[in-house]
Structure 1
Amino acid sequence: MASEITYAEVKFKNASPAAVVEVPPETKKHEHHPQKYPPWLPWLISLLLLLACIALVIALLGEYLQVVVPFSRSGDQPTALQQTFMEWQCTSAEPQGKGRGWMCCPKGWKHFQNSCYYLSADKMSWAESEQNCTGMGSHLVVINTEAEQAFLTKELQVPTGINYYIGLRAQAVGQWQWVDQTPYSERAAFWRKDEPNNHGDDEMCVVIHSSSVIHNWNDLRCESHYRICEASAVTV
C-alpha cells in the first residue's frame, strides 16, 4: 500500500523579511549646450594670423626692403639726394650708431658697400654729366679701390663697347684729378693697355669702357658719353 505524503505549512518566528534594496533614481542627463565665445574672438585670431604672416615675410626677405620716403627722423637734415628722390630701396646692414640698421639708395640705383651708383641711359659731355650728377645730390663716380672697380666692371659688362664717364679729368696733360679732390694714385688706377696715351690736349676726360677686363679706363675727348653718378648710401 503506497504511503500517503502529507504537506504542512511551517512558519518561523523572528525571521527577517527579505532585504529591500533601494535603487536611486536614474541621474538626469545634463543637456549639452554649445559654449559661447565673445564675438570679437574671430577678429583677434585673424589679426594674430596676419601679424604672423607679416613677420614670416619679413624674415624670409630679410635683406631686402623697398620703402617710400623712409627719412623722417627728427634732427636729421635731409641731404640733396633725399630731397630729390621719393622711392628708395634698402638693404639690411650691421647696426651702427643711433640704432640704424638699413642702407638705402634711390630706386633704380645700384648699391655697393657704402655707396649708391646711377648708370645713365642718355649721353652728355663730361661737364654736363658732372652737373647732372650734382643736381641729383651726387657726383661723377670716384673709384678708390679695386673692389669698387670690379663691381662697376661687372655691372657694365652688358652691353659691351660703351663708354661711361667717371669723375677723373686732367687739368693739364697727365695731371689727373678726381672731382671730390681725392688724390690721384697710380696704384688705384685701372687704365687699359697703352692708356692713357695723353694724345695732345684734346683727351682730358676719362671713361670706363664696358668690358669684362678690370683694367678698362680710357682717356678721350670730353664729348657725349654715358655717365656713372655716385652718392653715399643713406642709413636709417
Structure 2
Amino acid sequence: MASEITYAEVKFKNASPAAVVEVPPETKKHEHHPQKYSPWLPWLISLLLLLVCIALIIALLGRGWTCCPKGWKRFQGSCYYLSDDTMPWADSVQNCTGMGSHLVVINTKAEQVFLTEEVRHSALGFNHYIGLSAPVVGQWQWADRTPYNETAAFWRSGEPTNVTVEKCVVIHKMSNIRNWNDIRCEHHYRICEAAAVTV
C-alpha cells in the first residue's frame, strides 16, 4: 500500500522574522590617474644637484676665493684703495705702507684703463698719486723698485715737464687714458695697491 506524503507549514509563536543581512552599498572605485612624471625623476634631480654641489666645491677649493679688504677695489690679482683724504707724497707713501700696501705701480694698459675709470668715477679731487717719482730730475722710478719702462708710460700730452719742483706723479681725473702728470709733491689723493688675498 502506498503512503501519501503530506506537507504542512509550521509557524512558531514568538519566533523572530528571518534575519535580514544588510550589504553595504558598493563602494565607488577610485579612478586611477597616470603619474605625470616617472617615479625616478625626483631621484635624478637630487643626483644632479649633488653633482653640481660637488663640482662647485672642487672648483672653489682648487682655485680659492680672491678677496680684498673692505673699501678696496679688486682688479685681476690686486686690490686698490682710492683715498678720501689728501696728504703730501712722503705721507702718502707711509700711509699705504701702514696698510700693508704701496702707492700703485702700473704695469699694463689694462690696469691703467681700470684706474682711469675708477678715478673718473670718484667724487673726489682731480689728482691721485701713483707710485712713480723722480728723486733726480728725469730719472723716474716706481715705489716698489719695478724698473720704469718708457714704452708702458701714460703721460699726458706735454708731460713730464721734468722740472726740479715736480718730482711726483699723479693720475689726472679729467684726462683720457694718457693722464699721468708730474706735479709738486704737495697734498693730493692717493691710490694704494696690495696683492689680493686668496683663501
TM-score, normalised on structure 1? 0.58
- Local SS of the residue matching 1:191: coil
Alpha-carbon RMSD across the aligned residues, in angstroms, is 2.7
CA offsets per residue over residues 72-110 of structure 1, 9 Å max, x none?
xxxxxxxxxxxxxxxxxxxxxx75xx6342111111111
Identity, in percent, stands at 65
Partner of 2:184: 221
Matched, 1:147 2:103: no
Aligned with 2:127 (options 163, 170, 183): 163
On the 8 A contact 1:154/1:212 being kept in 2, the answer is no
Aligned with 1:99 (options 48, 62, 75): 62
Give me the whole-angstrom Cα distance separating, in 2, the residues matched to 1:12 and 1:202.
152
The alpha carbon displacement at 1:150 in A equals 0.2
Structure 1 runs of 4+ aligned residues shifted over 3 Å read 22-27, 158-161
How many equivalent residue pairs?
Answer: 152
Aligned with 2:152 (options 168, 179, 188): 188
More strand by share: 1
Matched, 1:175 2:139: yes
Partner of 1:91: none
Map residues 1-236 of structure 1 onto 2, 5 A cutoff.
Answer: 26=23, 95=60, 99-158=62-121, 159=123, 162-199=126-163, 201-236=164-199
- Local SS of the residue matching 2:64: strand
- Local SS of the residue matching 2:187: coil
Could you say which structure has the greater relative contact order, defined with CA pairs below 8 angstroms and 6 or more residues apart? 2
* Matching residue's letter, 1:179: A
5+ residue gaps, structure 2, are 8-18, 25-48
Give me the whole-angstrom Cα distance separating, in 1, the residues matched to 2:84 and 2:71.
12
Give me the whole-angstrom Cα distance separating, in 2, the residues matched to 1:211 and 1:145.
20
5+ residue gaps, structure 1, are 1-10, 14-21, 28-54, 63-93
